[in-house]
Every structure is written in structure tokens, then in C-alpha cells.
A and B are shown apart, each in its own frame.
Chain A
Amino acid sequence: MIEHGSQVKELADKHGRRRDSLIPILQGLLEGRNYLTDEDMVQVAKELDISAADVYGTASFYSFMDTEVRGKYVIRVCKTISCSMKGKNEVLRTIEDTLKIKVGETTSDRQFSLLETNCIGWCHKAPAILINDTPYTELTPEKVTEILQEYIKKQ
């Protein structure tokens, strides 16, 4: 069980304890962890003196603030029209086949999660994905396999 209490305090010391400190604090917790636990949100609520429901209500609005368990690397595949026109389905299928998970799922070793997302701003180099904060563009099934292999080797 990870102790989040001290991390929340550190983040609150850094960003403040006002209402507008909420999202920077939550974003700080998401660094490298990719999802918020119930304990996280309760701790933040206590620190900012607001209700845990309010924290959850705010966090759950934002699609990059996951409140479900996610892996170390979150892969987001753009599904908006330009990427869809340029081969996103083949790229998605390749990722699914390589990692043996479907969209919305996380690998059993908690390394990778696969999600779809909307336009990430690389339409001229479609299809594109994000792995955590890093964009990868002009993808083909071969290229994406290479990229995934590098991430797999990283462990």
C-alpha cells in the first residue's frame, strides 16, 4: 500500500490549498502513476477542506484523469477523422495483438493500458498516438511494433 498522504501534503505545499490548487495537485499525483485512487482523492479533499465527492466529481470530468487502475504506460490512440482516414485501425489492431489487450484494458503485469482518445493535434502526420505524454506519429503496424518493443524492453 503506497502512502499517499505525505505526497499530497508536499503537492499542497507546492501549489497551495485554494480551490484552484486542486487540478495541479491531482496532476502532480498522476505523474508517473496514471490514475487516482479513492485514497488519493480523500487525502486531497482533507488537505483542501472540500468534500471527497467534489474532488471525485472534478477529476472524473477530465478524460486524462483516470480514476480506474491504469498501467505504467498509458497508450492513447487518436480516433478522430484524419487519423481514422490514415490507418488508425491497423495500428490499433497491432497494439491489441502485441499486448494481448483490447481498448479500455490493462495488461496483467500492469505495464500497459490501451485507450482511444480524440484529436491530439498531429493530423498532418496521422495516424498518431500518445504513450503517457510522448506523441508518436506517422505510424504503421511495423513502426508501432518497434515502439512497443522498446517500451517492453525498458522493464
Chain B
Amino acid sequence: MSIEVRDLTKRYGEQLALNKISFQISKGAIVGFLGPNGAGKSTTMKILTGFIPQTAGVAKVAGFDTVEAPIEVKRRVGYLPESNPLYKDMYVKEYLHYVATIFQLPNPIAKVNEMIAMTGLAKEQDKKIHQLSKGYKQRVGIAQAIIHNPEVLILDEPTSGLDPNQLDEIRKLILKIGKEKTVLLSTHIMQEVEAMCDRVIIINKGGIVADNLTSNMRKMGIKEAIVVVEFSNKINLDELKKISNVQRIEQGNTNDYKLFLKDSNLDIRHEIFQMAVSHGWSILAMQMEERDLEGVFKELTNK
């Protein structure tokens, strides 16, 4: 296990920031850590990187306990904190070289050049950090996090505030790095998790509300399935109601209908087609309505 968290609790004075959360992340996985602001994402990450200790529970990274062996943990973790703090008055190269000396890497100059090539900073390497655009600053932030070849990479909102092009580039970079490392990244954008992660852990008010494979994400929290069908003419609504498992039907503006089913695992498209054929209705369009990800997110975190 690259990351192991058991009954992790963190209290800031009276406020309970994390309430007995547990999860495990195996080596090589990219996991999305999702939740609204103030849910406890950053707190969990700060504990995993050894910045602050937990109030109770156990956190292990790369096999080392974050409280008992913080130095060992810190050697094996690459961390990009929220809002990507960098020394703005340093040159890109100078900064990365400083990070390399912090980790006491042999041959730091070669390592810095390798990172610059890997993160696509070649053109910007002789600039001061404050001169860079936000996208390039983010690349510097990622470069400093992976320079010591850590086993685990913890990225706190790595894509917040980027424009769509930068977003795409940073996501590609994270995916490239993620092939060899365990990555835990936090975000509050569902699409991002879908684009990058194998697994998603959704956290709300200090507790885990969902932990599932990304492919199952759209089904999470869904209680009913919806089929939308559009006909060329007006049809007899009562006939449609005869199909089994249909709970209710909503009629749209034109000849389109929404059929609500009891169970999210049901599919009645075949039955609808058969009925249309037998009544001579022509179907213009028909689809199972996919729940939008924002809806899932809202449902899970609005309790």
C-alpha cells in the first residue's frame, strides 16, 4: 500500500475537520480526492505530507508512519500545496537546483535539466518565477514535486485557476507522471476526476461519502433511471404507461417524453421500441439519460 489511512481524525480546537476517515491506495493508482471547499481535503493532505499531525488515527505513506518517521515520509512524498507557493524572486533553474540540494540528490544539475525537459520548461528556464504565466508556474510546482523521484505524489488542487489550454496540458503532464507513481490529487471538479483518475474518494464535512472506481461514478447516489424518447407525432400516453417499471412520465415541449424508472439498473429501451413498432409510432431519438456529474456531486455533498 502506498497510502494507508485508518480512522484519521483531526480537530482544530472545537472544530472537527476530519472524522475517522479510512482508505487505502495501492501502488501506481491515480486517485481523485473530491469534495467541496472546507470538506477536509487539504487537512488530509497536510497530515499525509507530515506538515501537521493528526489528533487520532494512523496515516502511513510508502510504509512509514507520518508521525513516527516524518523524515522518511517526507523523502518519499512529492507535494504540491494548494495555490502552489514558489519563491517568486528566484530563477526557475535556481529554484529547482535548490530543491535538488534539499533532497541531497547526487548530480543536481543533470536532475534539474531532466525536470525542465520533462515538464516542458525549456523556454522559460532562465526566467524568474514571477515572470511566468500561471500554467508555467504550475509546471514548476510539479517539477519541484517530482525532482526526487518520490513514490507518492500529493497534489492539492493542481489545476485550479488555469485556462482551458493550460488545464489540458497540466492534466496530460499529471497523467504522464502518474504512470509510474501513486498520485493523490484533490479537486472540486468532477470532470477532472473523470479525465484523470482511476478511482475517486468523495469527502464531505470531514467524512468519506463515496469511494468508488471512476467508471462507476455516474451511477453513484442515483436512485432512479431516466429514459428520454422523442416521437415524430403525438402518441397515446396511456399506452406508454403500460410498460412495466415505469413510475411516471413527464411530457416535454414537443413530442418528447421522460420516463422515470424505479431502479437505476433497469433499461426499457427495448420495450419502448417494440411498442412503437406495434403502434406504428416513429422514434426520432431515444436515450438513457446520464446523470450529470455536478448532480452526483451535489447529491453526495449536500446532505
The answer on A and B forming one complex is no
Interface residues of B (CB under 8 A from A): none
Interface residues of A (CB under 8 A from B): none
